[in-house]
Amino acid sequence: MNDESPPQADDPRVKLEEKILADYPRLGPDDTFKFGCHPGVSCFNRCCGDVNIFLSPYDVLRLKKRLGMKSYDLLDKYCLLPVQKDMKTPVVVLKMNDDEAKTCPFLGDSGCGVYADRPWPCRMYPLGLASQKDTPDGWQGDRFYFLLQEDVCKGFEEPQEWTVRQWFDNQGIDEYDTWGEAFKELTLHKFFETGGTLGPERMHMMFTACYDLDKFREFVFDSTLLERFEIDEDFVEEMRYSDEALLRFAFLWLRFSLFGEKTVKIRPEAAQAVKGKGTGK
Ligand code: SF4
Ligand code: SF4
C-alpha cells in the first residue's frame, strides 16, 4: 500500500472543493451543455493520463470481467491502494503507467481499450458530481452536477448539446449509480458519522468483500459462513459464478457484520450457539 497524507487546508484538493461549491454553476438533470468527444478532436487521448481515478467495487467488477482477470491479479497489476491516516473505508485508485505522461494503462492508439467497461469517473466526464456540505454530519446535503472544463479539452467547442439526463443515458451511468448507492449504504453509514472506526482487520474484510471478489468467493465457499445464515439456495448457486450476485451478498453481509444491521438472517442453530457462547454455556 502507498502512504498518502490526508488533505490539509492549503491542499489544492481542498481548494478545488471550496471553489466548486462557491463558483461553479450547478447543473440539474434538465440543464444543458455543449460537448463532443471523438477521434476527430485535436486533443484526442490527451486526457487519459496523470489523473486520479478512484474505483468503486462495481468499476473493479466490470474491469476484471472485461479483462478476464481474477480480482487479485487486477488489483495487483492495475490498482493502487492508498492509505491515509483518517481513512474510514478502503480506497482503490487506478494505477497510471510509469512513463513521463503517466498514461492510463488502458489507453491505446484508438482510444480507451476498455471503453464499454470504463470506470464511472471516465463516463461522467465532463460532468462532476458534488454535494453541498450543509449539515454538521458531513456530505449529506443536495447533490448537484457541474462542468469540469479542463484547458486541454476541446470537447466544449463541439456543437452537440446534451441535457445532464441525456448524458447519463448515453454513457450508461445509471447502472453504475445504482451500485454506487448500494456502496454508500456502507461508506456513508451512520456508524462513521457517530465516530465509529474500522480496525485493520475489519478494514481488510471490507476491502476483500468489496473489491477482491475472487478472494471473497473462496472465503464464502471454503469457510462455514454459509452454514451460519439462511440464504436462498438458488442465490447461493448464483454466487458461485456471478460476480454481481456475490457483490450484492458482500454488501448485505458487510452491513450485518460491520454495523449489526439485520440484512442477512442468522440460522436459529447458529444463533443458539452464539447465545450459548455469550452466557458461558
Ligand atoms: S479507463 Fe479508458 S477512459 Fe478512463 S482514463 Fe483509462 S483510457 Fe481513459
Ligand atoms: S480532452 Fe476532452 S475532447 Fe479531448 S479526448 Fe479528452 S474528453 Fe475527449
The string of pLDDT tens digits covering residues 151-180 is: 889 999 999 999 999 999 999 999 999 999
Ligand 2 pocket test, candidate residues 154, 160, 167, most atoms within 8 A of CB: 154
pTM metric for this prediction: 0.87
pLDDT in tens, 2-54: 333 444 455 555 566 666 666 778 898 999 999 999 999 999 989 999 999 99
Are 26 and 145 in contact, with CB atoms under 8 Å apart?
yes
Question: 79 phi and psi, to 5 degrees?
Answer: -125, 155
Give the DSSP H or E segment for 220: helix 213-222
Which residue, chain included where needed, has cell 452466557? 279
Protein residue with its CA nearest to atom 1 in ligand 2: 153
Q: Is 104 in the pocket of ligand 1 (CB under 6 A)?
A: yes
Which letter, b or e, does each residue of 227-260 get, where b requires 16 or more Cβ atoms within 10 Å of its Cβ?
ebbebeeeeeeebeeebebbbbbbbbbbbbbbee
Cell numbers found for residue 98: 510509469
Q: Is 107 in the pocket of ligand 1 (CB under 6 A)?
A: yes
